[in-house]
């Protein structure tokens, strides 16, 4: 066994031991720890910034681009954001131990389900060092132990945040190893982490599509993954024009670089002439480039003909693909085959179509008359999210505290035996 | 691409296409199909027995042992059991499309969760050909498409059952490819199936521990697995003596070769002298071999000293390991480290210990004053089960129709946009 293997094994064993304690920690202790970590981060702001400056300097030397350097930076606002986020998590209801569906069976036993932590969660993420605090906080509140592996470019920042987390854990009496941040930048550590079935129950990668694909292809530990967001709005022939324009505009232009932004607009061709020109004008005013099918290009000026690739592209930019469709079924067909099963919207006033669309669209969030931008843990009332799952197994859509837990059966009896 | 790869790819593509139709099939069509398959099996009983005879003959020639030949056999009773099982599944409530937790958010949108099928389920199983009908029925009712890969020793029997399933599907108007039984006995087919992430959403292996371990080690498709059942009963110092003896006897002797039989009995040493000798006598009358820790051997006659291995062994036989413990915490420690996180029981009248035991034991079923034998889909009211998951992710414990589904978010609005 080489050094990295030995090191990762020891992290795994420590995490497993900490997870046992964490799974039984009461709400109060976990909240005390979260608040103590928040205080340690506030108190350690200057040190965190000094360590962050080392990463930024090394990043500039390495020639990281401006966007990456921006994500890497921890200024006063972002540090305050980390501690504020932890205090918000402390305010969330703790799902662990919740008992639901307790019901008697003909045998006389009573069966229910109790919510329990998953165990040890491995988080693999890229440049944003604030993920260290966010992810640790959510995992801690849900009673899990965590092993965090951040990007090598953020190593000093992550370790500075890790020191604050450790300080808060120790102050609260919870195991210091409940949150461990990998100290080596050796890439072999990632390989060990995603193969450590004995010590790690689930891996959650956070970052670009390439990172997530690589992790989920190579991991033997189960992965909760969040791939791309190719989200659609379909404007039906029974759509209310004002709602259609408002929702399409908001879904595309509220923010561009986010996974729940609309990338393709589908318009029923019987109402396209009534709605598209006005909508296109407003989109263009916001600086959105329009790429359309042939019919779209005939209807609106300055429209670039879309290529086949456009229907399968997550732009994360002020670009919108537009396609006319004959009916809702054609829209659903397009969404299920070109989308990424993330978030898709119908705008319509037709009751029967609403029922059909909700059922037939195979996406983690299916919406009626609302902006794609609502697909978000805060908006859904989860309080915070560790990511948006595009998987179907275990958790689908925004993953909050509950997505970091499982349920076991509990059986209450009075001496019942099976005949 | 070799022949097996091409063949398995075509099964995968056909399953994916069928899954789209199945996910939208209404309750009535699915029930009609289940009943039509049941009728086809009843009508085809003679043919099924003739094909089964070929497998039995080949099995005898190959020198399969009596237990394996017994599992392989399809007689009139077992064939009637298959069709009866399908009719029972037709009677179960369909979980697909259920909407729960629909609630308004401050933004005015209304969020809920809708239950949806997983997609394509791959089932890999060993000699029992009745699994073909059971598993196909559960997957069909839950709106999934299925690819079944049975043992090579049951190939003729499985194909005969497959023909009945196909006949029922065609008669009902559902896609014939909603259930496909792999026609080759080439082992490479299993390798292809468990790597086919593009076409298969989850693999459920059913069979011995070795099969399941191999599949879950090699699969890149997520696996819902059912490993061993090393179940415990802990008799607390506050146990009711009659309940303790009844539950221990039933947990051990009701059936021996099942995963929810007790394999280790833990007894609080302050009540051991009061309970163990009487219990041991009754166990011995049933022909159970007793293996005990040193203290146990001092208390009861004819007790074989247990070795360290005994605490980690799933006997599936009339053998019981017995250990005395100082208190409940020691029992929990033993269960969590030597058990298989399947089903564990405390017998006690103490309220506070009940609360602690339910919380601290990390098993898929944790019971109070009831026999381990209740850990079963029928007993829990799931109607039927496709297995008992010893995993934490997605499904834990008995997996019924609901375990074969996922939930997507639905959002209902009136034109809401994000500010």
Is A358 in Cβ contact with B415 (below 8 Å)? no
What is the rounded distance in angstroms from the CA atom of residue A300 to the CA atom of residue B217? 55
- A101 near B CB under 8 A: no
Using CB atoms and an 8 Å cut-off, which of residues 5-44 of chain B contact chain A? Answer: 20, 23-24
Place of tokens 């069979």: B207
Q: List chain A residues with CB under 8 Å of B22.
A: none
Residues 6+ apart with CB under 8 A from A3: none
Q: Closest approach of chain A CAs to the CA of B59, in angstroms?
A: 35
pLDDT grade for A286, boundaries at 50, 70 and 90:
very high
Is B374 in Cβ contact with A413 (below 8 Å)? yes
When CB atoms are compared, the residue of B240, B364, B408 closest to A363 is B408
Using CB atoms and an 8 Å cut-off, which of residues 123-152 of chain B contact chain A? Answer: none
- A309 near B CB under 8 A: no
Mean pLDDT by groups of 10 residues along chain B of 419 residues: 92 97 96 98 97 97 92 95 96 96 96 97 91 95 97 95 97 97 94 95 90 90 88 98 98 95 98 97 97 97 94 96 98 96 97 98 97 95 88 92 96 97
Supply φ then ψ for residue B48, to 5 degrees: -60, -45
Long-range interactions of A185-189: CB distance < 8 A, separation 24+: A185/A152, A185/A155, A186/A4, A187/A152, A188/A2, A188/A4, A188/A5, A189/A4, A189/A7, A189/A8, A189/A149
pLDDT grade for A118, boundaries at 50, 70 and 90:
very high
Predicted confidence (pLDDT) per residue in B244-275, tens digit: 999 999 999 999 999 999 999 999 999 999 99
* pLDDT value at residue A112: 97
What is the rounded distance in angstroms from the CA atom of residue A296 to the CA atom of residue A282? 16
**Which of A198-212, A251-265, B148-162 is predicted least confidently?**
A198-212
Region A47-71: what's the mean pLDDT? 95
* Complex ipTM more than 0.90, yes or no: yes
- A353 near B CB under 8 A: no
Residue A35, both tokens:
């608040």
Using CB atoms and an 8 Å cut-off, which of residues 213-252 of chain B contact chain A? Answer: 217, 220, 222, 240, 242-243, 246-247, 249-251
* pLDDT value at residue A384: 83
Place of tokens 């300055």: A302
CB–CB of A119/A24 below 8 Å? no
The neighbour count for residue A341, using CB atoms within 10 Å, is 23
Is B396 in Cβ contact with A371 (below 8 Å)? no
* pLDDT value at residue A385: 87
Is A118 in Cβ contact with B379 (below 8 Å)? no
Is A201 in Cβ contact with B371 (below 8 Å)? no
The residue of B241, B254, B348, B413 whose CB has the most chain A CBs within 10 angstroms, and thus the best one to mutate to test that interface, is B413
CB–CB of B357/B349 below 8 Å? no
> Would the pLDDT of A224 be above 80?
yes
Is A412 in Cβ contact with B242 (below 8 Å)? no
What is the rounded distance in angstroms from the CA atom of residue A372 to the CA atom of residue B20? 24
pLDDT grade for A105, boundaries at 50, 70 and 90:
very high
The residue of A25, A143, A399, A410 whose CB has the most chain B CBs within 10 angstroms, and thus the best one to mutate to test that interface, is A410
* pLDDT value at residue B301: 86
User: Which among B281, B287, B204 has a CA at the least distance from the CA of B253?
Assistant: B287
String of b and e for A280-309 (b: at least 16 CB within 10 Å)? beebeeeebebbbbeebbebbeebeebeee
Residues 6+ apart with CB under 8 A from B6: none
pLDDT grade for A90, boundaries at 50, 70 and 90:
very high
pTM of the model: 0.93
Q: Closest approach of chain B CAs to the CA of A179, in angstroms?
A: 20
* pLDDT value at residue B360: 97
Is A103 in Cβ contact with B381 (below 8 Å)? yes
Residues 6+ apart with CB under 8 A from A38: A82, A83, A84, A86, A87, A90, A168
Q: List chain B residues with CB under 8 Å of A360.
A: 24
When CB atoms are compared, the residue of A254, A374, A415 closest to B243 is A415
Is B397 in Cβ contact with A409 (below 8 Å)? yes
CB–CB of B55/B157 below 8 Å? yes
């Amino acid at each position: 066994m080489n050094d990295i293997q030995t090191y990762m094994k020891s992290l795994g064993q420590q995490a497993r031991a900490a997870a046992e304690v964490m799974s039984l920690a009461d709400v109060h202790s976990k909240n005390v720890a979260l608040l103590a970590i928040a205080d340690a981060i506030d108190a350690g702001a200057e040190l965190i910034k000094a360590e962050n400056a080392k990463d930024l300097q090394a990043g500039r030397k390495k020639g990281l681009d401006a966007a990456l350097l921006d994500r890497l930076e921890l200024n006063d606002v972002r540090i305050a954001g980390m501690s504020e986020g932890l205090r918000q998590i402390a305010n969330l209801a703790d799902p662990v131990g919740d008992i639901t569906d307790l019901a008697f069976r003909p045998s006389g036993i009573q069966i229910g389900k109790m919510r329990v932590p998953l165990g040890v969660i491995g988080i693999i993420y890229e440049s944003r060092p604030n993920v260290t605090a966010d992810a640790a906080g959510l995992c801690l509140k849900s009673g899990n132990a965590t092993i965090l592996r951040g990007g090598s470019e953020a190593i000093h920042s992550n370790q500075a945040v890790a020191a604050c987390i450790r300080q808060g854990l120790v102050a609260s009496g919870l195991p210091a190893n409940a949150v461990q941040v990998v100290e080596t930048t050796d890439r072999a550590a990632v390989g060990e982490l995603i193969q450590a079935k004995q010590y790690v129950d689930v891996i959650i990668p956070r970052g670009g599509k390439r990172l997530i694909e690589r992790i989920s292809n190579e991991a033997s530990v189960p992965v909760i993954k969040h791939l791309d967001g190719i989200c659609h709005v379909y404007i039906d022939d029974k759509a209310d024009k004002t709602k259609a324009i408002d929702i399409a505009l908001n879904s595309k232009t509220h923010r561009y670089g986010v996974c729940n932004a609309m990338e393709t607009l589908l318009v029923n061709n019987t109402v396209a002439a009534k709605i598209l020109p006005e909508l296109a004008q407003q989109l263009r005013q916001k600086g959105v480039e329009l790429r359309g099918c042939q019919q779209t290009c005939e209807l609106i000026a300055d429209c670039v003909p879309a290529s086949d690739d456009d229907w399968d592209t997550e732009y994360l930019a002020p670009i919108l693909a537009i396609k006319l469709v004959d009916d809702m079924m054609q829209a659903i067909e397009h969404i299920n085959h070109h989308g990424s099963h993330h978030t898709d919207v119908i705008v319509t006033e037709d009751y029967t179509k609403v029922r059909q669309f909700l059922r037939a669209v195979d996406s983690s969030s299916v919406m009626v008359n609302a902006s794609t931008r609502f697909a978000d843990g805060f908006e859904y009332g989860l309080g915070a999210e560790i990511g948006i799952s595009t998987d179907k197994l275990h958790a689908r859509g925004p993953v909050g505290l509950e997505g970091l837990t499982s349920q076991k059966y509990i059986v209450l009896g009075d001496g019942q035996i099976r005949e």
